[in-house]
Amino acid sequence: MSLLPLTFKASVPWNSVVNSDMMGFNSIVKIFHRNIRLLLESLLLGVILERRTTCQTISKAKNFTLPFHSDNNTAMGLLATHILSTPVIELTVTPKTFASCSRPLDEFAEVAIPFWEQCVRIVKQSGKVRYSTFVNVLEI
C-alpha cells in the first residue's frame, strides 16, 4: 500500500510517525520511478525521431498524460501500519495523528482497500494458472 499516494493539505508539513523501513522503501521506489520515466521518455523520443508521430499528435491525443506528475510518498503505508496496529476503539484518533493529510481514513477506504483486494485477486489467479500449468505438465 506504500505505493499509493495520500493527499496532503496545502502547506501543512508532515508531523506524524516516521518509519525507517518505509523511508528505505521510498528511496528504492524513487529510483525505480525515475528509471521507468527515463525509459518512457527515451522510447517516446525514439518514436518521434523515427517520424512515426509528431509532438503535436501526441499532445492532441485524448487522455494522454505521463504518470509522473506527482512525487511518490509512503504516507498510505504509514497509515496502513497505523490502522492495522491500533485497536479499533482508538481509530477515531487517526485524523489527529495524520493531521497533514486531508482525508486519511476516507482515502484508505476508497483507494487502499480496493488496491489490496485487487492484489489478492491477482495473486490467487496467478496461483491457479501456475498450478494448472504444473498439473498439465505432470499429465504429459
What are the pLDDT digits (tens) for 79-122? 888 888 888 877 776 777 888 888 888 999 999 999 989 988 88
Q: Looking at residue 16, what is its pLDDT?
A: 79
User: Collapsing DSSP states into helix, strand and coil, what is residue 66?
Assistant: coil
Phi, psi (rounded to 5 degrees) for 82: -65, -45
Query: Among 107, 102, 79, which Cα is nearest to 91's?
Result: 79
Distance CA 62, CA 140 (A): 49
- pLDDT, one tens digit per residue, over 34-89 is 888 888 888 888 887 887 776 666 666 555 556 666 666 788 888 888 888 888 87
* Torsion region of 77: left, alpha or beta (phi above 0 gives left; psi -120 to 50 gives alpha): alpha
